[in-house]
Amino acid sequence: MLQPKWNVKLSYSKSFVDAPYIYRKANIMSVLMAGADPSLAISLSPERVHSFQLSFAGNNWVKGLDFEVNGFYNRATDLIMTYITTYQNASKNRNCGVELMASYKQPRFTANWNFTWTHTFKANMMDLGLPEILDNYYTTDIDDNNNTPAVMSNLVLGWQATKHLKLHTHVLFEGRQTSYNCDLVQLVHAASALTAYEQYAAEGKQAEAMVAMQTAIDALQGVIMQKEMPARAIVNLGGEYTLGPVTLGLNIHNLLGTRYYRSGMNTNIIPQQGRWFLASVGIKL
C-alpha cells in the first residue's frame, strides 16, 4: 500500500545457499582417511531460509527525515554444522524480531540510525550422532540467540565542516551475547565410553558396562559449552581534508580501545582488534 507520506509492505521470500565446496571435499576426505568408499561420504543439501516481513515506512514527515519499522520472522532449515571432522545439514533455527531505521539529511549534515532486536525461540546446535539411548541425558536444542546479540544498533554521522573538511563517525552498540559451542573433548570421551559400553555388554560384563555408560552420561553433561560476552560500544572517527587534487584522510577505529570478542557458528570466542589508526593520501589525476 503506497501513499505520498507512508507505505506498508508485506513480503515473503525463500532463499538458499549451496553447501561450500570445501565442506563437500572435507566429507570425502574423512571417508577416504577411514579407508571407506568415497561414495559413502555424507551428501550436503543447500541451507534454506523462509522469511516473512511486515514493514511500515514514513517519508519526509519532518523535513529531511525518513524512517521505517520492519517486523520479521525467519525459519531456517538444513543449516550446516560441524561433527568432529565432517559436516552435516543438522541444524535449524526459528527467530523473530523488529528493525527500526531512520535517516536525516541536510545539505551539510547526515545521520543514519538502525536498531535491531532479535529473539531465537527454537534452534539446535548439531546432530552429535550418538545413539538414541543417550537422548535423555543431553540436548543440543537452545531457546536463545547463538553468537548473536539480542540488541544491536548503529549510528553513522557525517558533517561537511568546511568546504575542504569532511568529518564522519560510526558508533556500534551490541548487547550481551552468548556463545554456544560443542566441546569436542567431552564428545570424544562420551563416544569412547559408549564404545566400551557396547563391548562390555556384548561380552556379558554388566557391571563394567554400567560404569562405561555412566562415564558417557557424565561426559555429555558438559558437551555444550556456554560463554558470555558482555555488551560493548565501538566508536570509530574519521575525517578527510581535500586541497585541490590531494585528499588527506585519517580514521581512528575503536577509539575507546574497547576489549571485546566475537564468535561464529562453530568457533570459540576470538579477541578482536583494539584501537588502531589508518592514514591515507589520495591524488586525483
CA distance 238 to 23: 40
Between 67 and 86, whose confidence is greater? 67
The DSSP secondary-structure symbol of 137 reads G
How high is the pLDDT of residue 87?
86
How high is the pLDDT of residue 84?
65
| Spatial CB neighbours of 1, under 8 Å, sequence gap ≥ 6 | 7, 8, 9
CA distance 262 to 271: 7
pLDDT digits (tens, 9 = 90+) for 191-238: 888 889 888 988 888 898 899 989 988 888 878 888 888 999 999 999
pLDDT digits (tens, 9 = 90+) for 106-140: 999 999 999 999 999 888 877 777 777 777 777 78
CA distance 68 to 61: 12
Residue 272 CA from chain centroid, whole number: 15
Q: What does the block give as the cell for 25?
A: 571435499
Q: What does the block give as the cell for 74?
A: 525467519
Amino acid at 149: P
- Confidence band for 141, pLDDT divided at 50, 70 and 90: confident
Residue indicated by cell numbers 558470555? 228
User: What region, left, alpha or beta, does residue 216 occupy, with left being phi > 0 and alpha being psi -120 to 50 degrees?
Assistant: alpha
Between 65 and 84, whose confidence is greater? 65
Q: pTM, whole model, 2 decimals?
A: 0.82
- Confidence band for 280, pLDDT divided at 50, 70 and 90: very high
DSSP string computed for 97-161: EEEEEEEEEETTEEEEEEEEEEEEEEEE-------GGGGGG---EESS-SSS-SEEEEEEEEEE-
How high is the pLDDT of residue 227?
84
Q: Which residues pair with 117 in a beta bridge?
A: 98, 151
Decide: 197 and 216 in contact? Cβ < 8 Å: yes
How high is the pLDDT of residue 264?
67
Between 160 and 191, whose confidence is greater? 160
CA distance 92 to 82: 13
